[in-house]
Structure 1
Amino acid sequence: MIAVGDSARSVETSGVPHPLSRPGETKHFTLEGSDELEAHLERTCQQVLARVRRLIPERKLEGLLVGGGYGRGEGGVLKTEAGDRPYNDLELYVFLRGNNFVNQRRYQAPLHELGKRLSPPAGVEVEFKVLSVAKLRRSPSSMFYYDLVAGHHRLWGEESLLSGCGHHRAAERIPLCEATRLLMNRCSGLLFARERLECAEFSPVDADFVERNLAKAQLAFGDAVLTAFGRYHWSCLERHKRLKSLKMPEALPWWSEVQRHHFSGVDFKLRPRRVAASRAALLDRHEELSSLGLQLWLWLERRRLNCPFDSARDYALSSVNKCPETSGWRNALLNLRTFQLSVQLNPGSWRYPRERVLHALAWLLWQREESEESELLRCVGRELRVVVRSFSDAVAAYTAFWRQFS
């Protein structure tokens, strides 16, 4: 069962191409990919569908959607001497009937193993996520659900699969905390890139990792601003158009830089490249983006929490609840599961654990040069409730915690 959308595919030959004509289901995976690349991705998807149907009983399988850039028809096209190649992960969303928690426990691990087997012939990572339509219908608005519902490629399921999910098509309903979450994830990418840049050995694979995370941050900075003003859109092309025309209600010294970097981020998303940039050049770009990210972070969090923060240190040490939209009793249960009995005497047991990620990130990405190492390690260790003896230990602990609450 293949999608039947009619999204446009026209592009300009220079600059940022025109946006797709409409959201919803798409027929194609890229804007500029060759027919051979499109055929490769279609074959890959059909192979994925066949293997998923072997793994999951038909009575359980309600739908299979391609999400991400390829699902929205804006997947990256890597130009090589051998022709166009895919670049982004291939994100598959498996909708199963029944209890979502039980389905995840039963099928997520086998699907993960299937993804590892399918990735080499696909040429990119193949990733699966188990969902249920019932959960999607009752879930509050988020950027993740909006992107999936507004733009996808349907491989299996009825045309009415996502009926009752109309609230996820309203971008203006995406809460401001989602902009913070986006920045948290992309600034985490900057932290991981910095760690690669400081390794004794720096390979072309490391350079590609750094380049990719710099580009993701460039795109996310503008996207976070759009989200803050209720102007986010599923298409990165339409987002850039909106960003260029957005009238800011206040004079912000970093605004033109956010717009400039967003253009570069869109260009890399659609036309990724593996460049032979030196470590020094990448470090310079990393420092520029980290500095810009801090300015944007403090602006957004002041706006979201209605509280002045003058620095990353001020933000990390502030007792202001960074996740006020969450439920205290649910947070207590989550903390109990995460930290076990040690949380009972912790006054932060009613706070959402993601707050610890936000604080630790502020220390690791923006306070490293501003603080004594002993203070930084102590503060990060306190947030993550671990003992860290070096910066690399702190990043490793942060990575594990971030994966749980990103």
Structure 2
Amino acid sequence: MSITRCHMMVMVNFQIFISMLTKYVRDTSASQRARAIYRTPSPGSIDSGFGSDFERLRLTESKDQVQKQDQKSQSYAKRSKSRRSSSNERKWFRCDEVTEDYSDADDVYENKRQSTKRQSSFSLDEVALSEIRYIGDLGGGGFAKVDLVEIKRFPGRKYALKRLSKRAARNQEEYLRSEQETLLRARSRFIPRLFQTFETSSHLLLLTEACLGGDLFSVLERNGILPDNVTRYVIACVIEALEHLHETLGVIHRDVKTENILVDSNGIAKLGDLGFCKRLSLNECVETHTFCGTPGYCAPEMLNGGANERFCDFFSTGVVMFECATCRSPFRRQSHRETKRATLRGIDDVTFPPHLGPVTAHAIRSFCANSPNRRLGALGCEEVRRHDNFRSFSWDRLRNGGMKSPLLDLR
């Protein structure tokens, strides 16, 4: 009997213990959820009990504190956003600079900004020959070939690599060095820019900007006779290039022709192939007697063995102007001898087509005058600008890049 009573008391006590334990677990879980919601720290040594009034009071106080902290955080976030917005509105930031807020972690952001600037200021002077990748052919001549290339580190940027063979130009190494020197000194948007030079045992290589519009000879082949505004634009670009060569660099080109006038992707005509450039002395006798150039473009004084002064470049410019306006050469004939005779007879012996206006015809005849001192440009490029053919032409817009090239309108 006593055994049965003891067993019953144990069962009752066990049930009471289970009920108390269940209530304890339920209240503890609720307390933990409340802490998670209100972001309260762990109670630590404080016993939360069975959801006592002390614990509920503590949770309420913690909730108020957390709300105040949240308000402070939101206010700080608004101020930070305002600072970032104001910094992004500043107009003096360069496009290659980082515009984040530097109020926090200044060192990290400053290192990132310096790294970005180093990448953006990459110079082609750092390029090695092994980094150049061949894409295709752009053209070539007697002892030179021009390839379209790109830099492996920066794919998508196209350049022209002119390869000059030392073996094919054994007796003309002076011209190779002359082109290299002139391009290095040139700073005109109407002359192709030289970025880097390389030299191997067999070749001299020049890395220049790529004029992907082809040369003027190809433009004439595709389009025929050029409109007056296009012809005027091309000749104006040539005049700007010649002024830079003559007056700034002190050299004469001596090979102005349609094959050496290149068109870039913006339609700007650039005077290239400076291999025949000759540096003039600084004294009064600014001339050279070396014969070079292309038959049909050479001035009469060059054919007679006379002095090659800057006037010969204006004669060749007149020939180019005639070819743009008529799509034929004024002096070129079946043989070099006949071409020389036609050149020496002069421009007055050339028949002009009837579609040429009197102003254009006068400009061509003035450029190609037999007497160098009577030639258009003998008094400088400013004389060319004052000619009636360029009366309404904006030279300032051309120089400043504000003029749209009419070459872009051609097919």
Q: TM-score range by the shorter chain?
A: under 0.3
The structure with the largest alpha-carbon Rg is 2
RCO (CA 8 Å, sep 6+): is it higher in 1 or 2? 1
Say which structure is richer in helix. Answer: 1
Q: 1 or 2, which has the higher strand percentage?
A: 2
**TM-score, structure 2 normalization:** 0.27
